[in-house]
Amino acid sequence: MNRWQLLYRALCLSLVVLLLAACHGAQHDAEPPGEPLRVLFIGSSYTFYNDLPEMFAELMRSGGYEAKVDMFPVVGWTLSDHATSARTLGRMETQDWDYVILQEQSVIPSIQDERDQRMYPAVHALDEKIRQTGADTVLFMTWGRRDGLPTKGYPDFESMQAQLYAGYMGIADELDAIVAPVGIA
């Protein structure tokens, strides 16, 4: 990975840290000062590679916040896979999480039929479980491919990113969920 890719990822993670820290302060004022932010990451390769949760925790610490993180990523899995996995659902119950971050497979949110038939029902099911545990859902908006997805009609990054945005914001608005706009950053 070159230094520009590292810088890009650091900026994206910084945005997530700032958003969660701000939301945490606004929504959880009754917690004692210094209480660590408890965040569970559920996703696939974008979550797993480079240990995104630990990078997040390091950025939180560098900003003066403590964070307890865990992850349950399975490379190649979709949120539909996670929504029906006893292991994923069990991981949600292992802690009193403040936030559960959901990262969908990289292409599904950009394709209308895929998100309607697979992503949205899975996010509904996971969000219901997350809310039952007392946590808040955060949708990790991914980024488009540099050359778009020409086979689906997106010839460049911008057109694919616009569809990713539409996909994540559509379900976030419906569920009143938080969106970490990493793909836009």
Q: Is residue 130 part of a domain?
A: yes
Contact call for residues 183 and 144 (beta carbons, < 8 A): yes
Q: Is residue 185 part of a domain?
A: no
Q: Is residue 43 part of a domain?
A: yes
Q: Is residue 176 part of a domain?
A: yes
Report how far residue 67's alpha carbon sits from residue 83's, in angstroms, rounded to the nearest whole number: 25
Total count of domains within the chain:
1
pTM surpassing 0.85? no
Q: Is residue 118 part of a domain?
A: yes
pLDDT digits (tens, 9 = 90+) for 140-155: 999 999 999 999 999 9
Instruction: For residue 41, give its domain range.
Output: 3-27+36-180
pLDDT digits (tens, 9 = 90+) for 121-131: 999 999 999 99
Strand pairing class (99-102; 136-140): parallel
pLDDT, tens digit only, all 185 positions of the chain: 444 444 445 445 545 544 554 444 545 544 444 689 999 999 988 888 778 899 999 988 888 889 999 998 888 899 999 999 999 999 999 999 999 999 999 899 999 999 999 999 999 999 999 999 999 999 999 999 999 999 999 999 999 999 999 999 999 999 999 999 988 87
* Mean per-residue pLDDT of the chain: 84
Q: Is residue 78 part of a domain?
A: yes
- What's the pLDDT score for residue 156? 93
What is the CATH number for 144? 3.40.50.1110
Q: Is residue 8 part of a domain?
A: yes
- What's the pLDDT score for residue 138? 97
